[in-house]
Structure 1
Amino acid sequence: MPYAHNGDVSLYYEEYGPSDGPTLLMIEGYTAQLVGWEMGFVRKLNEQGIRTILMDNRDVGLSSQLGAPEQTGKCYSLADMAADVAAVASDAGAEQFHVMGESMGGMITQQVITDYADRVKSAIIMFTVPEYAAQWMASPESAESGSSEGLDYAETRDEAIDMFVSRERACHVGSAYVFNEDWARELGGITYDRCYRPDGWRRQNAAIADFRIDQDKLAAFDKPTAVIHGRKDPFFSPKAGEYIADLLGGELHLYSGMAHEVPEPLWDEFAGIIARTVAAGEDRD
């Protein structure tokens, strides 16, 4: 099992696709493990010739837990998590790489391209915000990481899976796409069996709480970019996606029926956007 190291933090990752293809780091969102990327979607990227690297962020999955169960306050920042991404890329032999993240992973992606601009060839940023602040939320009460729904400790595996499904369902509120409860329930079991540490989620939450990207540095990033956001996102307003795309001068893709999700009917279109962005980054060499 491959592990990268950022100081004392161990970071588990998996590689898929052609070993000689351009390397794309795929960064998951708040509380999510790398298994949250559906393999059908990952394979579509691999079929485009892209080498994909999926990683467990710190405090989830098989990567390091950064505290004891009672330690749920802030003990690291999203800049530290961006350094984790750079460490994984280095361990995978990619001095230059492309990066894509969703939700919290989109925040981390912004941090990566401001802190490691010389290493990043292109970026794809999915349903996220440039700052964790009320102005970018879909509604005052919609802050994703601010909600404790379904994040309490479960007494049993079945209870934990039920809570996982409820959190996934919340991401799909308002969506025009069918919520796949069977897959959500299966994924809940997989994530529980890999690592069940809700205290780690709280530490991620504390890292998100004061996130604010350096907008001048973000605007200075001059590589190919694409921003994907749903108009029905129940957490983050599409205004946030518009604002990030405007700062970057990149492509903006807004989907009228999409919530906080990567719906299967859009996989082909997303794969095309990502492959085009990656290819443009490769052409810059």
Structure 2
Amino acid sequence: MKHFVTSDGIELAYETFGQRQHPCVILIMGLGAQMRVWPDSLCQLLSNKGYFVVRFDNRDVGHSSHLKQHGSPSLLKAWVQQKMQRKAQIPYTLKDMSRDVVALMDTLETDSAHLVGASMGGMIAQILAAKKRKRVRSLTSIMSAGRAPGLPDPKLKVLLQLAKRPTPFNREASIRYTMRMNRLIGSPAYPMDEMELRQLAETSFDRAGSPCGFKRQLVAITAAGDRRHLLKKIKTPTLVIHGSDDPLIPARLGQDTARSIRKAKLKIIPGMGHDLPPALVPKLGKLLLKHLNKAEKKWQKRTQKRLTEQPQQHAAANDKLAPGNIHQLS
């Protein structure tokens, strides 16, 4: 695991798989989740197929900076300010988190990358695909949406409940709490067994979980509001993956995301919830590789075309400045 510090003073932890000279795939995790939620088997699968895979801890989770100085912001206040179209006074925004990804790319000396985002990570990837087109080779949005859930939404109440620190707070209580959460949002057709659930929960606790960090990220999502107008600016090859049984972000929001992005491909996976269970890795890997390979070929073809055109444009410019043409141009 490696670390770097952004220009904003945010320290981010990241891990890589594969060879640096291969096309880069950056995995962006969701709300309150650490990079290890991306299954090792998925990272290895992509790297074995010729990609340089990078996963990292978002700010406020895992081994990245925890912004405790900002305390626990009001979700209700952020929602009201967003509805009234006022600038929310919050610790940071999804745009700030998208700049963290750009800083990661700069650290890796990667001009462009394929972005794969899950849940909140999908929202961050969408922002980058719309605003930093030249740096995004493809977009994959998994169990994500183009707008924040409404405050009265009962699913948001579930999120708020999940954000509460278990009492008493100790290692075992936290592990049991995380296991219950993952059962609640998990995939009915791809359930994780008790050992898998416990291992994931233990890893999360031992790598420094932060309930307040979860709250700060949730406020950033709420303040982002409806971003569907932004999705219409995305022109990069896009794949939208969503579970038919997602209890947090319903499949209809995934469908809405795909409709908002030009030529986006939509794949609804029966029995998938709001998680990335090991049993689902083969199916996810197949979908991702098909999309990545096609997008990479398109990117390379376009890059080669630009390289071919540049000498021709340079030669044409020199012709105009040749001595015999100066008088004609004056």
State the TM-score, normalizing by the size of structure 2: 0.79
Find 2:142's aligned residue among 103, 126, 144: 126
**Where does structure 2 lack aligned partners over 5 or more consecutive residues?**
75-89, 304-330
Instruction: String of CA shifts for 1:204-224, please: whole Å, max 9, x gaps.
Output: 111111223543332222221
Which among 186, 189, 203 is matched to residue 172 of structure 1? 186
SS in 1 for 2:155: coil
Asked if 2 retains the 8 angstrom alpha-carbon contact of 1:145 and 1:205, the reply is: no
Matched, 1:52 2:53: yes
| Counterpart in the other structure of 1:20 | 21
2:104 maps to 88
Contact 2:163 2:212 in 1 (8 A): no
Q: Provide the residue aligned with 1:217 in structure 2.
A: 230
| Partner residue in 1 for 2:291 | 277
CA–CA distance in 2 between the matches of 1:28 and 1:145? 19
CA deviation after TM superposition for structure 1 residue 4, in Å: 4.2
Question: How many residues are paired up?
Answer: 281
Which amino acid counterpart does residue 31 of structure 2 have in structure 1? Y
Instruction: Report the alpha carbon displacement of residue 157 of structure 1 after superposing the two structures with TM.
Output: 0.6
C-alpha distance in structure 1 between counterparts of 2:226 and 2:19, whole Å: 33
My pick for the range that moved more, 90-99 or 267-276, is: 267-276
Cα gap change, 1:102 to 1:44, in 2 (>3 Å): same
Q: Indicate yes or no: 2:194 matched with 1:181.
A: yes
The correspondence of residues 134-145 of structure 1 with structure 2, limited to 5 A, is 134=150, 140-143=153-156
TM-superposition CA deviations, 1:118-158 (whole Å, max 9, x none): 21010100001111133xx9x93112774223631552111
Which amino acid is the alignment partner of residue 131 of structure 1? R
- Identify which of structures 1 and 2 has the higher relative contact order when contacts are C-alpha pairs closer than 8 Å and 6+ apart: 1
- Measured against aligned partners, the alpha-carbon deviations of 1:61-94 in whole angstroms (never above 9, x if no partner) come to 1111122384445300011001111111111111
Aligned counterparts of 1:13 and 1:205: Cα–Cα separation in 2? 22
> Which of residues 252, 255, 260 is equivalent to 1:242?
255
Question: Aligned partners of 1:101, 1:120: CA distance in 2, in Å?
Answer: 12
The 2-side partners of 1:218 and 1:57 are apart by 22
CA deviation string 1:222-273 (max 9, x = no partner):
2211010011111111111111112222111001211112233332222122
Which moved further from structure 2: 146-155 or 218-227? 146-155
SS of the counterpart of 2:242?
strand
Larger gyration radius, structure 1 or structure 2: 2
Residue of structure 1 in register with 2:39 after alignment: 38
The residue number in structure 1 matching 2:87 is none
Within 2, Cα distance between the matches of 1:75 and 1:69? Answer: 6
Higher fraction of helix: 2
Q: Which amino acid aligns with 1:196?
A: G
Partner AA of 1:45 in structure 2? L
Aligned to 2:62: 61
User: Secondary structure in 1 aligned to 2:14?
Assistant: strand
Structure 1: unaligned runs, 5 residues or longer:
none
Q: What TM-score do the two structures reach when normalised by structure 1?
A: 0.91
CA RMSD for the aligned pairs?
2.1
Change (3 A) 1:150 1:204: closer
Amino acid at match of 1:193: D
- Separation of aligned partners in 2, 1:214 and 1:150: 24
